[in-house]
Amino acid sequence: MSGDDKPFLLGQIKDKLIRSKQQWAEAGRAITGRPDMGHVNRLPPGQKLTANWPVLDLGVQPDVKPQNWRLRVTGAVEHPLHWTLEEFRALPPFESVSDIHCVTTWSRYDNHWQGVSAKTLLDLVKPRPEAKHVIFHAYDGYTTNVSLKAFSDDNVLLAWAWEGQPLTREHGGPVRVVIPDWYLWKSAKWVTRIHFSAEDKPGFWEVRGYHNEGDPWKEERYS
């Protein structure tokens, strides 16, 4: 062992430590109620568990017939694509199980979703380097914004089924966004356009006093 080996070894150990801490930090985003992440407290602060699934919206539930549904991707992407429901459902399917946390204080565990993952969509449309924000537009005029980072999470999807059944109209069928790590107002029902942008654009509730992000573990309810 030469004297030079020691600093080298220390350097290696340090890198290893940093890497594992980084991984913990990433997993720590998992203070997120992901069932697989093994939280001691699965229920975020201020939430109450419910078994049913309440319906919340602006009071208008657009009747989007499957044959009329369209999803468009616009803004800062290499490939601004659009799909019919038939085309969308032909994309690689994705299934996930996640908890729902609504800002109105109810949470519902173990929701089984089926749809298209955000990852798949991102691979297809390829956001341009300047894209940092995503704005969802829905058939009822609702909008909501998230960071591209939040949208890129592994558990995010555009869901067309819940508990093995087509997503009902009241819950946003034919297709809604599901972003399990954020309060449910970020999960646009009846989604019809996904806009990528360099600039953030607060959505319907975000301009009305809701937090711009919405992490249930930090109680980011109102701004």
Ligand X SMILES: Nc1nc2c(c(=O)[nH]1)N[C@H]1C(S)=C(S)[C@@H](COP(=O)(O)O)O[C@H]1N2
Binding to ligand X by residue 37, rule CB under 6 A? no
Candidates 26-34, 141-149, 172-180, 185-193; binding stretch for Mo ion (CB under 5 A): 185-193
Q: What is the DSSP string of 144-205?
A: EEEEHHHHTSTT-EEEEEETTEEPPGGGT-S-EEE-TTS-GGGS-SSEEEEEEESS----TT
Phi, psi of 94 (to 5 degrees): -135, 140
Cis peptide preceding 35, ω within 30 of 0: no
Is there a contact between 143 and 204 (Cβ–Cβ < 8 Å)? yes
Nearest to ligand X by Cβ — which residue?
138
Q: Residue 94 CB, nearest distance to ligand X (Å)?
A: 19
| For Mo ion, the closer CB: 127 or 180 | 180
Q: Which of 171, 193, 195, 211 binds ligand X (CB under 6 A)?
A: 171
Contact flag: residue 34 with ligand X (CB under 6 A) = no
**β 191-197/70-75 pair status:** parallel
Residue 162 or 185 with smaller CB distance to Mo ion: 185
CA-wise closest residue to 196 among 124, 140, 142: 124
Our finding on whether 187 is near ligand X (CB under 6 A) is yes
In order, the DSSP letters of 69-114 are -EEEEEESBSS--EEEHHHHHTSPPEEEEEEEE-TTSEEEEEEEEE
Stretch that binds ligand X, among 9-17, 68-76, 182-190, 194-202 (CB under 6 A): 182-190
Q: Which part of the chain contacts Mo ion (CB under 5 A), choosing from 1-9, 27-35, 51-59, 80-88?
A: 51-59
* DSSP line for 185-199: GGS-SSEEEEEEESS
**101 contacts ligand X (rule: CB under 6 A):** no
Should residue 193 be labelled a site residue for ligand X when binding is judged by CB under 6 A? no
From the CB of 223, what's the least distance to ligand X, in Å? Answer: 15
User: Considering only 13-21, 49-57, 65-73, 148-156, which stretch makes contact with ligand X by CB under 6 A?
Assistant: 49-57
Q: Tell me which of 30, 31, 43, 56 binds Mo ion, using CB under 5 A.
A: 56
Binding site for Mo ion (CB under 5 A): 56, 185
Binding site for ligand X (CB under 6 A): 53-58, 102, 138, 140, 142, 171-172, 184-185, 187-190, 205
